[in-house]
Amino acid sequence: MTTAPVRTDTLDLIGNTPIVLLSGPSEAAGCEIWGKCEFANPGASVKDRAALYIVRDAEARGELKAGGTVVEGTAGNTGIGIALVANALGYKTVIVMPDNQSREKMDTLRALGAELVTVPPTKFADPNHFVHTSRRIAEETDNAIWANQFDNVANRRAHIEGTAPEIWAQLEGRVDGFTCAVGTGGTLAGVGMGLKAQDENVRIALTDPHGAALFNYYANGELKSEGSSVAEGIGQGRITANLEDAPIDTQFRISDEEGMDWVARLLREEGLCLGLSSGINVAGAVALGRQLVAEGREDARVATILCDSGFRYLSTLYNAEWLKKKGLPVFDWLGSS
């Protein structure tokens, strides 16, 4: 019997997540597909890692002092991570979020004690974009830092030093491929760099949703988007500082419908309730697995990220009305009402 970890500090509950072999995806790919269970973090998403690293980095640089405030613009999960970390360390939290994100995330942020500011979704070039609004609030607040997750590379360091070595150790030093989608790029770039440091032959793939510009960028050098996606937390239109020098070998583009297929199968066949970015990641991992198998590597091992829990999307991804409104297929067990 192995003993579950014992911790003496609640912040040590962040990271060191389990990894699980996904049976349906492995069968579909013809090789092993592993999912890193980031929904098992205290804030129920991969972003707890970045939140902790960003706050610790600001403390170490002397920018965040006792009683200070952490301000951030976020699709939600980073805000939840920051609110928990800030509570544990005695800081206040102000979160700016586009108002088209799930109700659950907004309710969660308020419940955790964060001050929530919502703004209409708009282009990055607009000064009222949630990212710029959060920077302005940080500048106007006493003893505050702007977490700046997109361009603060403390974000990807969480994955270089945490997620990547964990995956490497959990899979006993045999990883052939890794892929995930990009929001800030912290996870893909950080895990990519961390795994390449162990073995430069690990194939690192971008899995891009529709509506994001990175697939075209890595395929042919042009930042250009096509289509759209309802997936929250992913889909990037520029090369963030976290993405600079990311060791990306290949890329896949995955539709919401394909991602939803895996969300449905993982829930109904394997008992995992996940958000859409996880489904898109698994679809990408299956594509990467198939690519490796087609090259004769039937024993390939591919890892991806199960980013957050589906419980965060009961009013969206798991709601028949909402899915119909978005023109997406309704999961058959939800019925039509």
Catalogue the active-site residues.
Answer: 47
3-class secondary-structure state, position 259: helix
- Closer CB to ligand PMP, residue 30 or residue 151? 151
User: Residues with Cβ < 8 Å from 22, sequence gap 6 or more?
Assistant: 33, 34, 35, 266, 270, 282
CB of 50 to ligand PMP, least distance (A): 6
As measured in angstroms, the least distance from the Cβ of 192 to ligand PMP is: 11
Beta bridge partners of 97: 118
* H/E segment holding residue 315: none
SS3 content of the chain, % helix, strand, coil (to 5): 45, 15, 40
For 134, 305, 311, 317, the CA distances from 275, given in Å and listed in that order, are 25, 11, 8, 8
C-alpha 226/C-alpha 213 separation (Å) is: 8
Instruction: Kindly tell me which of 177 and 183 has the beta carbon lying closer to ligand PMP.
Output: 183
Min separation Cβ 4 and ligand PMP, Å: 26
Task: Supply the minimum distance, in Å, between the C-beta of residue 180 and ligand PMP.
Answer: 7
Closer residue to ligand PMP (CB): 267 or 293: 267
Q: Tell me which residue has its CB nearest to ligand PMP.
A: 233
Contact 117, 96 (CB under 8 A): yes
Nearer to ligand PMP, 32 or 48 (CB): 48
- The CB-of-150 to ligand PMP minimum distance in angstroms stands at 8
* Strands 19-21 vs 32-37: parallel, antiparallel or unpaired: antiparallel
Question: d(Cα 315, Cα 317) in Å, to the nearest integer?
Answer: 7
Give the span between the Cα atoms of 92 and 86, in whole angstroms: 6
Q: Smaller CB distance to ligand PMP: residue 293 or 314?
A: 314
Interface residues toward ligand PMP, by CB under 6 A: 45-47, 75, 77, 181-187, 232-234, 275, 277, 307-308
